[in-house]
């Protein structure tokens, strides 16, 4: 399995802080999603293209361990790797850092699903073969 982390960065937005003076915890899931969105791009994989084919990647599990708080205007490094993957599911692992400070680690587990025409129904599917290489899926 691919143990290689790929990296992207976000700048903490004022909107992401809360009255405790730090980033609201739910935003870490948003950053993790940015990490997996960017994951395949360096190889030319764009999630928006996959969605146009009617395949979506749904989240079935998410977990975060919070270490240190992120603050307004911090630059956050999002490190993303594929922890486990098959043609039916994929699990990403993440590390979030601000400079030397570790902010959090997390994982998200996903199913590949086919979206019905009216976008109302989803059923488990498989990642089309042409995309599997991006995630080290044989």
* Binding residues vs a copy of itself (CB under 8 A): 11, 13-15, 17-22, 24-27, 29-30, 33-34, 37, 46-48, 51, 56, 58-66, 69, 71-73, 115, 117, 119-120, 122
State in angstroms the smallest separation of the CB of 81 from a copy of itself: 19
Q: How far apart are CA 85 and CA 80, in angstroms?
A: 14
CB nearer to a copy of itself: pick between 116 and 133 = 116
List 17's β-bridge partners, or say none. 23
DSSP string, 53-122: TTEEEEEEEEEEEE-S---TTPEEEEEEEEEEE-SSEEEEEEEEEETTEEEEEEEEEEEEEEEPTTS--E
Provide the annotated active-site residues.
18
CB nearer to a copy of itself: pick between 3 and 21 = 21
CB nearer to a copy of itself: pick between 117 and 138 = 117
């Amino acid at each position: 399995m691919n143990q290689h982390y790929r990296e992207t960065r976000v700048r903490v937005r004022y909107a992401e802080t809360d009255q405790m003076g730090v980033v609201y915890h739910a935003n870490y899931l948003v950053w993790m999603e940015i990490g997996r969105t960017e994951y395949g791009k360096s190889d030319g994989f764009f999630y928006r293209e996959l969605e146009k084919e009617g395949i979506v990647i749904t989240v079935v599990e998410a977990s975060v361990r919070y270490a240190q708080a992120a603050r307004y205007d911090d630059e956050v490094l999002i490190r993303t790797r594929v922890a486990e993957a098959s043609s039916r599911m994929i699990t990403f692992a993440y590390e979030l850092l601000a400079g030397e400070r570790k902010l959090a680690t997390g994982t998200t587990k996903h199913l590949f699903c086919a979206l019905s025409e009216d976008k109302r129904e989803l059923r488990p599917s498989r990642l089309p073969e042409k995309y599997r290489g991006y995630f080290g899926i044989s």
